[in-house]
Amino acid sequence: MHLPDTFYKNRKLENLVENQTSFTLNNAAMHVFETHQQAERVLLQFDKPVLASMLHGKKIMHLRDHNSFDFLPGESLILPADELMCIDFPDAEHRNPTRCLAMAISEDKIKNVVTLMNENIGKADGQEWSLMDYNFHFTNDAGIFQILQRLLFLFTENHPSKDFFVDNMLQELIVRILQTNNRKIYTDKALKLSNDNRLAFIIQYIREHLHESLSVETLSKKACMSESNFYRVFKNELGISPVDFINTERIKLAVSLLQDPNKKIKNVYLECGFESRSYFNRVFKRMNQISPGAFQAKAAQH
C-alpha cells in the first residue's frame, strides 16, 4: 500500500529496542538492533546511505511511494541518506527478539569505490558504473553473507588496524552490491503498483499461496483475463514473467527458511511450493550461485 503522511507516527525505534549496539569508524557505523516486543509503525532514519540486513525474525517495511513488503533473514536493503523507514515487528518477543544489522556508509566512500570500478572493472553493457540503486531489496549471495559476518566481527574486534580492515571489506561489499542487480527481489514496477491495480491483488495472492500449486491458468482466472493477455500485461507492467516472479518469491522464502540449520531441505522446498528437489536446486543455484545445502551449511557456521 502507498502510505499517507498520517501513517507515520512520531515513534522512535530506540524506545522499543532493549538492546542496541553501535560501533563507529571512519567511513561507516554499524548498529545491531534487537527488538523484544511486537510493534507497528516504528520510525527509523539515518543521515547516510544505509545497508540494512535481517539477521533473525521478520519485519514489514513501509517506504514512501512503495508497497509494503516483508523483510526476512538472508535479505538486505539499500536506502539513501535521510530515507524514512516505517517498520512493523509482527513476531518480536522477549525470548525471541527480531535482530537486524544497519550499516551507515559515507557517500564519499561509495563514490570512491564507484570511481575505482569505472577505472578497473568494465560493465558488460559498456556503460559506466553509477551510485547505488537505492531502495534496492535483494537476497544476500554467499559472498555478501560472508562479508557481513566478517564486518560484524571486525567492528567488534579491539584491533589497532580495524579501520583499515573495515575499509577494505567495505570496498568489496560495495562492488558486490553494485554487481547484484540481477538478484533484485522486487522490481521498481512491482513495488509501486497501486492498490487499485488488478495485478496488486495477484501479487498478494501469490505471496500468500507460495506453498500451493500456482499456474498462469489459475492466476489469469483470478485476474479475470485470458491466459495470453494476463501473461502479456504481467510482463509489461512488472518487467518479469509470472513464472519467474513466483520462483523469485519462493527462493526468497527458501533463503529465510534455510537460516535454520535443523530444517530439512525436503521440508524447505515443499513449504516453498516446489514439487521436486532437482528443480528447486536448479532455481536456487541460478539465483544465488550456491546450492541450498551449501547455503544452509554456510549459514550454520555463523
pLDDT digits (tens, 9 = 90+) for 221-258: 988 889 998 998 888 878 889 999 999 889 988 988 88
141 shares its domain with 68: yes
175 shares its domain with 30: yes
Q: Give how far the C-alpha of residue 128 lies from the chain's centroid of Cα atoms, to the nearest Å.
A: 25
pLDDT tops 70 at residue 128 = yes
**Which of these three, 189, 207, 238, is where a domain ends?**
189
178 shares its domain with 286: no
User: What's the number of domains the chain is made of?
Assistant: 2
pLDDT tops 80 at residue 65 = no
Question: What number of CA atoms fall less than 13 Å from residue 101's CA on the CB side?
Answer: 23
pLDDT tops 90 at residue 177 = no
Give me the chain's average pLDDT, please: 83
Q: Which structural domain range is residue 266 located in?
A: 195-301
Do residues 101 and 52 make contact, with C-beta atoms less than 8 angstroms apart?
yes
List the CATH number of the domain containing 140: 2.60.120.280
163 shares its domain with 28: yes
Q: Give how far the C-alpha of residue 2 lies from the chain's centroid of Cα atoms, to the nearest Å.
A: 19
List the CATH number of the domain containing 220: 1.10.10.60
Q: Of 14-18, 83-87, 191-195, where does the model show the most confidence?
A: 83-87
47 shares its domain with 168: yes
74 shares its domain with 112: yes
**188: confidence class by pLDDT, cuts 50, 70, 90:** low
183 shares its domain with 200: no
Joined together, the cell numbers standing for residue 212 give: 500451493
State the Cα–Cα distance between residues 54 and 180, nearest whole angstrom.
Answer: 17
177 shares its domain with 235: no
**Which of these three, 135, 157, 189, is where a domain ends?**
189
135 shares its domain with 42: yes
More confident residue, 195 or 210: 210
Find the mean pLDDT for residues 166-179.
Answer: 90
Element (H, E) at 102: strand 98-105
Find the mean pLDDT for residues 28-36.
Answer: 91
The pLDDT assigned to 8 comes to 42
Joined together, the cell numbers standing for residue 168 give: 577494505
**179: confidence class by pLDDT, cuts 50, 70, 90:** confident
**192: confidence class by pLDDT, cuts 50, 70, 90:** low
158 shares its domain with 63: yes
32 shares its domain with 151: yes
CA dihedral defined by 214, 218, 224, 229, rounded to 10 degrees?
A: 80
Between the alpha carbon of residue 119 and those of residues 29, 123, 172, 176, the distances in Å are 27, 11, 15, 16
* H-type alpha helices, 121-185: 142-156, 162-178
Find the mean pLDDT for residues 250-268.
Answer: 89
Q: What is the pTM of this model?
A: 0.67
Percent of the chain at pLDDT exceeding 90: 32
Find the mean pLDDT for residues 33-54.
Answer: 90
103 shares its domain with 206: no
Joined together, the cell numbers standing for residue 68 give: 509494503
**274: confidence class by pLDDT, cuts 50, 70, 90:** very high
**Which of these three, 165, 189, 213, is where a domain ends?**
189
**Amino acid in position 272:** C
